[in-house]
Structure 1
């Protein structure tokens, strides 16, 4: 199965709360659906596109170029759920980075951190963005780095900071503002986000870490990973069955039979995953809609028909409700985003570095 395109509910709710504190109203965010998340399991996984679209809407209604940093620095520890506690009680920075790589998917699959060794025996943590038809906005990446480094700063000795942070934001004139937040050298306009740590920092003991508590937390995190894996496998199977059967034919009964399950069992297992067949059908449909809208040669009428909508107006209403924009407007946005991404890649085309993965 492919990597699931999901983000945990706790992270998304934390981001929404902080965006509102920055003066952006829920109506401007188009995030009324977030009310449905209140009271649900904090580990519930939500569609990646929802989170990315939220950032695009936020940037549209604010002129603050530092919005991502401000949101990330203000996120509560609960946003990272058990991963925050694991980092707090890791024995050293090296140990914390290792745990970040191992358990990050409990928070988000918007991208993946990898650790790479440097020639001076230091380490750089590189963030590889998960490909999607809706690209990650630079402000979202800023918020992620700000939240992660803000947490590490609470654990490390106060006189220790990264040697450098590099982010793919394009406005290099803001570097001094970023450096004030990160308290280290910052390079803007990079090809990908990364943070460099000197060798002397990696194995300094974190005195407040509790090894006994860490063992309990690691056991819980391992269990959550296994549970998430089983849940994501079921969701992937259901999504694949819906696509295979076609949106005009697929329903809960036919999909359940294709998986050798009863309708009732399928509904119960999806509920345990924090979802339902109706929600999953709509999520898969909207993912297919996004792919279709990215293909400017595909007429909207044909796309609506392919997705099982009897009328183009019903398709337009569904897209607007899910993404906050009409199909034509979203198609233009996708084309602009892809074009800008291509330009960034062309601008930063460079020879690969000599790196050893650890």
Structure 2
């Protein structure tokens, strides 16, 4: 059982608004973003990582602009990063800000992890490692993250201080000049890593406008949010484990609450405090498991639908369409294609059996 990873709603709302400004109709993004934008906007709400990745893939299909990620990232409002943006702005130096980034990043997104590693001449590199998922992270989504993050840092750094270089994978090198215009430094495209390199002098130059007293207050708030998120994650883990133990067909709010020695009302209240509900969590875990199953071409869709508690294949198909914007078969083709492409890039041979005879009776 895999607990769904999430992305902050404040970040996602900023992305959707910028995609709209770039001429993309939210209703065409493969999920009902336009209708539910107000619900999504709750500051404590988190959305599934896989949904956000699907959104970016669909946006790039609709746009076709290779610079869309950069354009969205540089235009995102500071509020998109909530308290993390304020912590970074009032850090005493870039080195301190990078440390806070690594510590607090999960308040914004679980789509990947920032790590700091030593670089030449006492410098430092900030490396971004994508969280594994059946749904691949589109390079444009990484572009948007790096563009938004560096734009925030540039507001704090001295005008003559910039990274030594930025390295991004998945983008053609002929666009280098455009990327260097956005990032204001040397850019390496199509590389193996996603990372930013800083020299020692840039790392330790003081940020004149930083307020250490305010920083302490902001860090206290951020740590409290991390603790709250940790409790939320623990509750989600317990509920997800109970659902897995009972089975998707049998699990319900009453049975799960009893297994956790809680009343139904207490479980509902605690989930509501975390911006969720039992029904939303059940569907989130179910769709997370659906992705894992769809990524396995040898698993018949009818069997997967039964495993997830759907009485009819058509109900499973409708749920997948509503959640991911594609029918199960089309999504499977995409997932298997992504896995195959990644395997070839790593030199791993692929032996998918996508023409399994059992697929002829599976749901669309």
Q: Deviations over 1:191-231 (max 9, x none)?
A: 22100001111111100111111111000001000000001
Superposed structure 1 runs of 4+ greater than 4 Å apart = 1-4
Aligned counterpart, 1:38:
38
- TM-score, normalised with respect to structure 1: 0.94
**8 Å CA contact 1:191, 1:345 repeated in 2:** no
Aligned counterpart, 2:270:
269
Distance in 1 between the 2:3 and 2:71 partners?
A: 29
- Aligned residue pairs: how many? 347
Distance in 2 between the 1:47 and 1:196 partners?
A: 30
With 251-260 and 3-12 compared, the bigger mean Cα shift is at 3-12
CA distance 1:46–1:310, shift in 2 (3 Å):
same
RMSD, matched Cα: 1.6
2:237 counterpart of 1:240 = no
Distance in 2 between the 1:335 and 1:289 partners?
A: 14
2:131 counterpart of 1:120 = no
With 136-145 and 43-52 compared, the bigger mean Cα shift is at 43-52
Aligned counterpart, 1:10:
10
Residue 120 of structure 2: SS of its match in structure 1?
coil
Residue 187 of structure 1: SS of its match in structure 2?
strand
Distance in 1 between the 2:44 and 2:151 partners?
A: 22
Distance in 2 between the 1:3 and 1:147 partners?
A: 27
| Correspondence 1:199-348 to 2 at 5 A | 199-346=200-347
- TM-score, normalised with respect to structure 2: 0.92
**8 Å CA contact 1:247, 1:306 repeated in 2:** yes
Cα shift at 1:240: 1.4
Aligned counterpart, 1:132:
133
Aligned counterpart, 2:353:
none
2:100 counterpart of 1:99 = yes
Residue 159 of structure 1: SS of its match in structure 2?
coil
CA distance 1:6–1:290, shift in 2 (3 Å):
same
Residue 195 of structure 2: SS of its match in structure 1?
strand
Residue 309 of structure 1: SS of its match in structure 2?
coil
Aligned counterpart, 1:20:
20
**8 Å CA contact 1:4, 1:109 repeated in 2:** no
Distance in 2 between the 1:178 and 1:206 partners?
A: 26
Aligned counterpart, 1:150:
151
With 27-36 and 49-58 compared, the bigger mean Cα shift is at 27-36
Distance in 2 between the 1:58 and 1:37 partners?
A: 16
Aligned counterpart, 1:185:
186
Distance in 1 between the 2:160 and 2:345 partners?
A: 35
Distance in 1 between the 2:46 and 2:292 partners?
A: 21
Cα shift at 1:34: 5.6
Structure 2: stretches of 5+ with no match in the other structure: 349-364
Residue 134 of structure 1: SS of its match in structure 2?
coil
Distance in 1 between the 2:17 and 2:272 partners?
A: 26
Distance in 1 between the 2:17 and 2:5 partners?
A: 22
Cα shift at 1:343: 3.1
Aligned counterpart, 1:82:
83
